[in-house]
Amino acid sequence: MSLRVLLVDDQPLIRVGFATILTSQGDIDVVGEAGDGVEALELAAALDPDVVCMDVQMPRMDGIEAIRQLLATGARAAVLVLTTFDTDEALFAALSAGASGFLLKSAGPEELIEAVRVLGRGDALLDPLVTRRVLERMAGTPAAERDPAASSYRDSPAPETPTRPRAECELARVGLTAREAEVLRAMARGLSNDEIARQLVVGRATVKTHVSNVLLKTGARDRVHAVIWAFERGVTGR
């Protein structure tokens, strides 16, 4: 079955270019195009895409607000932010809003295709060389300074007890096993499932099970947001 993609960008030529690249692949189908965030929300509700490729700066409603409102509706689509701006602010805003991936418009066609496939199969585009600085910034930003609507996690941090380190308390609170915590820390280092499998000397299917358990127990939407959860609560081992 083909991945259903919605393209959102206020420049028609950009949308045409992305659509040409993506539809050249037999497993990707561009089901709609929107020129701003308002139209994107309408089409997402009507078309139920697997992946939304979202620009940041657009008229009427920008991409960040569109992501927040889209995910607030419970939409299952994963959002890939496509932008010309490689800044901490853009990354921070996109991830806080709930995006599962971030790609510069200067990326090559193969990178775009792979990014859509990664998000379409339920993973997240976590590039340690690009995203790590933003995750670390999130970890150092007090919760009161972040948009409360951006958090999709079901539990707030439990108070630290005098007798147990905060990280240990957080892991115990959500019920992560020692192996699941190990997998989460590997995810925070930007390792793929295959790399984690090699490091832990286990099968890829076992790693996928552990990752699924981590997402379920932390209440994180995807891999990126599980790592954000880990950084915010100091359980990355760094």
pLDDT at 217: 92
pLDDT at 237: 64
Query: Band of the pLDDT at 110, cuts 50, 70, 90?
Result: very high
- For residue 143 the two structure tokens come to 């919760």
pLDDT at 148: 40
pLDDT in tens, 164-217: 577 788 888 899 999 999 999 888 877 778 889 999 999 989 998 999 999 999
Domain ranges of the chain: 3-125, 154-232
First-to-last C-alpha distance (Å) of the chain: 41
Residue 145 has pLDDT above 80, yes or no: no
φ and ψ of 224, to 5 deg: -60, -45
Instruction: List the CATH code of the domain at 3-125.
Output: 3.40.50.2300
- For residue 8 the two structure tokens come to 């959102």
pLDDT in tens, 58-100: 999 999 999 999 999 989 899 999 988 777 777 778 888 888 8
> What mean pLDDT value characterizes the chain?
82
- Separation in Å, CA 24 to CA 8, 17, 98, 122, 218: 19, 11, 28, 22, 37
- For residue 5 the two structure tokens come to 């993609």
Strands 101-104, 28-34: pairing is unpaired
Query: Band of the pLDDT at 131, cuts 50, 70, 90?
Result: low
Query: Band of the pLDDT at 101, cuts 50, 70, 90?
Result: confident
pLDDT at 141: 52
pTM of the model: 0.71
Tell me which of 138 and 41 has the higher pLDDT.
41
Of 30-39, 82-91, 141-150, the one with minimum mean pLDDT is 141-150
pLDDT at 28: 96
Residue 159 has pLDDT above 50, yes or no: no
By three-state DSSP, how is residue 112 classified? Answer: helix
Q: How far is CA 55 from the centre of its chain?
A: 15
Tell me which of 128 and 19 has the higher pLDDT.
19
Taking a C-beta distance cutoff of 8 angstroms, is the pair 222, 100 a contact?
A: yes
The identity of residue 163, as a single letter, is T
Question: Tokens 């499932």 belong to which residue?
Answer: 193
Distance CA 50, CA 2 (A): 9
Residue 146 has pLDDT above 80, yes or no: no
Considering the chain, what percentage of its residues have pLDDT values greater than 70?
A: 82
Report the CATH fold assignment for 154-232. Answer: Arc Repressor Mutant, subunit A (1.10.10)
Query: Band of the pLDDT at 153, cuts 50, 70, 90?
Result: very low
